[in-house]
Amino acid sequence: MEGRRVRRFGRWRSNQTLLPVRVNRLSNAVSCWYCDCKSSILNEPLFRFGRRYSRFLKAWFSMGVGFSLAVLFAVTMILLYEIVQILCLYYGNTQMSNVMSKYLFGFSSTISGLTISVADIGYLCMSSFISVSVHELGHALAAASEGIQMEYIAVFLAVLFPGALLAFNHELLQALSKVSALRIYCAGIWHNAVLCAVCAWALFLQPFILYPFYIHDEGPMVLEVSPTSPLAGHLSPGDVIISLDDFHINNAQEWSQIIDVLTEHSYQTFQNNSLLENSMKSSSGKGYCIPYSLVEEGKRVSLEGNRTCPDELSAFITIPCSDQAMVDDDNLEVNHQRDGGVFHCFYDKDVLKLEKCGDGWGRLPSNRSSCFCSKEATCFLPLLSTGVAWVEITYSSSSPPQCLHLGRTRVIEDNNSKENPCVKTFVFVGDAISIKHSVLLTSYQPRWSAKFGAHLPYVLERLLMFTFHVSMTLALLNSLPVYFLDGEAISEVVSHYFRILSPRRRRTILQYFLFGGTVASIIMFGYIMSSFMF
């Protein structure tokens, strides 16, 4: 029986025995906490390819050595910084930990309400398979270029954690030079980094690649609407979002950004202010020019009594504009005192047809005052409480047959036309953040009227994003100075270059280094996971 070296999660283990390199049958291990599935079908093809392009692959993986060593040093310094912060030994920038976790490890400890859908689990599994395959392929090709054939490749499940491993002949690995060994050990990290770069470039070039078939950044299109979404009765798959509060929306990212801004405005706290001032701030100054005739017909409610409008009516209050000549009408009972007055109840559908006023809208003619209305009307804004937003959503409906043949440019030009059957507007009143993730949007619109293929750009985009983060996480995890990972093997080889130390002293320092890195990593990831849960 020959000695072997097995790699699990990046670790290269010694002092074990296994079958010779050429095997016809492999036994799979099964226990209550561990099971695996071994295969040697790729041994010969990968070895022939590695030997054939040995010179090119050695140069390729030599670049990976420099990159991996730099990442190992950087991640070690970051790990030390994180532990110092967690142990409260350094009172620096408290946001640095969240930034590092988000951009280096693919997640943030400040995420609230973290949810994952069944589709996300599918993307995660596919991206994990791709990232792990690329990682192990790097080790296999690097070893083949050095003349070492792998014994088998296996996928396994340890408790609940999946993984993959490669088995190599230990004696042949021990006979390699330190540079050759580093090329093999660093190959997985290097390949994951390259995969991240490929995914980033693919995401950047995706609009150009799909240009013959899809329109990009000309309005997000609705793919799905959750049955529990407050927008379920208004939007349907195929509709295109045009604007939020007159702010034109070009893509799905702008949809999320504007909703975040609206949510921030609605949750601002106001103290020692009148109801009128609080309402003006909560509604962000979004008003409507309501004619006096409609005011007289509407229901008036005293601010001192019940402040709830009946049925489907919404409450409005006037804006006291200094540049507007306010009409003193006793019949309107408008009182602009700070602590008193009345508000009026109107139907949303009637208000949406009127001219806008106030400075909270996305666009207003530049030659008019922000709250100017005609002599027959006055400026009213919604009376809202903290955490409640008034959001006017304009979209192009796909339900009329003639709308399927209109281009995006035509829809924008006809946005102000009240006779356009394709453009519809409705108002959402409530917590704006509730509509952010309840509607699935894509920044791509098919150039044909059929809905076939509408999900393809979204699926590709999500798969590339998941693969980028999983591959980056896998590369960084294997760069940590931790037992059972590639960082252990890399650190072991690097320690041999410190020849001023005796072999015994090098082994001692290496064990302290790996033990400290393992403990620090457990503390850091435990801290991050606890911040998710609490």
- Catalytic residue ranges: 136
Helices (H), 96-238: 96-105, 118-145, 170-175, 178-209
Does the CA dihedral 294-296-302-303 come out positive or negative? positive
348 contacts 290 by C-beta, under 8 angstroms: no
CA nearest to 194, candidates 151, 142, 236, 231? 142
CA nearest to 478, candidates 470, 510, 421, 455? 470
d(CA 100, CA 88): 17
Q: What is the CA 191 to chain-centroid distance, rounded? A: 23
CA dihedral of 12, 14, 19, 21, whole degrees rounded to 10: 50
Phi and psi at 427, nearest 5°, equal -115, 135
Q: What is the CA 277 to chain-centroid distance, rounded? A: 36
Amino acid (1-letter code) at residue 374: S
Tell me whether residue 243 is exposed, middle or buried, using C-beta atoms within 10 angstroms of its C-beta: 0 to 12, 13 to 18, 19 or more. buried
Q: Whose structure tokens read 């996971």? A: 529
CA nearest to 40, candidates 153, 122, 139, 142? 153
Polymer length in residues for the chain: 534
**Residue 270 has which token pair?**
């106001």
Amino acid (1-letter code) at residue 367: N
Tell me whether residue 489 is exposed, middle or buried, using C-beta atoms within 10 angstroms of its C-beta: 0 to 12, 13 to 18, 19 or more. buried
Helices (H), 227-303: 252-266, 275-282, 292-297
Tell me whether residue 195 is exposed, middle or buried, using C-beta atoms within 10 angstroms of its C-beta: 0 to 12, 13 to 18, 19 or more. buried
Longest dimension (CA), the chain: 104
